[in-house]
Amino acid sequence: MDTGKKGLFITFEGADGCGKTTQINLLNEYLKNKNFETIITLEPGGSDIGKQLRQILLHHDGFVSKRAEVFMYLADRAQHVDAVIKKGVEENKVVLCDRHIDSSVAYQGYARGGDIEQINLLNELATGGYKPDLTFVFDVDSTIAQQRVGETKDRLEKEGLEFHKKVRFGYLELAKKYPQRIKVIDANKTIEKVFEQVKKIIDEIL
């Protein structure tokens, strides 16, 4: 892990309904109590331009080309890295980011059937090679995750169980490929038990 630079960039990943947003908030409180300066941000939608892209990506009612979808997530990411993430890390902050590069690989790659190598390359271009220091993947049984999402679903949450099983598989493959960066958290457990796992990893780093 690169501890030589200022601040930290931590990403939170997992299928819809994995509970990562709750965990981000818990970690944020934990870090603030330890006197770290933090920023919570998200993709899509972590920048001003990103907010407009998020609206299209999650709520556009009509045909969205698979390629257009990929590029909109990437445009959001490029703007987010340059306008928000790097700046935060340079200001010595811990940037907690809800979804990032691995979402494109899991969703547009593994679940939608896009070419993984191409998506990796596009991610590289979008971020200028800037990488998270640490990534948590919240792994949860797909049926449980679907129940957690509830009735009000956005465009991607409306994809069925098979789609979300592929997303989950994709994340586990990514974790196997990048074991240094990506830590898998068993998110089938209670909120407290899940956070215990997060805390253990964070305490080892700080």
CA torsion 197-10-71-167 (nearest 10°) is -10
Minimal distance, residue 104 CB to ligand TYD, in Å: 4
Smallest distance, ligand TYD to C-beta of residue 5, A: 23
Cite the DSSP H helix spans in the chain. 20-33, 48-59, 66-80, 86-90, 101-103, 116-127, 142-149, 161-177, 191-205
Report the residue number whose CB is nearest to ligand TYD: 107
- Minimum distance of ligand TYD from residue 204's CB (angstroms): 26
Q: Select 98 or 139, whichever has its Cβ closest to ligand TYD.
A: 98
Return residues touching ligand TYD (CB under 6 A).
16, 21, 42-44, 58, 73, 98-99, 103-104, 107-108, 154, 156-157
Helices 20-33 and 191-205, packing angle to 10 deg: 50
Shortest CB 102 distance to ligand TYD, Å: 8
**Six token digits for residue 74:** 């990437």
Nearer to ligand TYD (CB atom), residue 46 or residue 204: 46
**Matching residue, tokens 């006197």:** 35
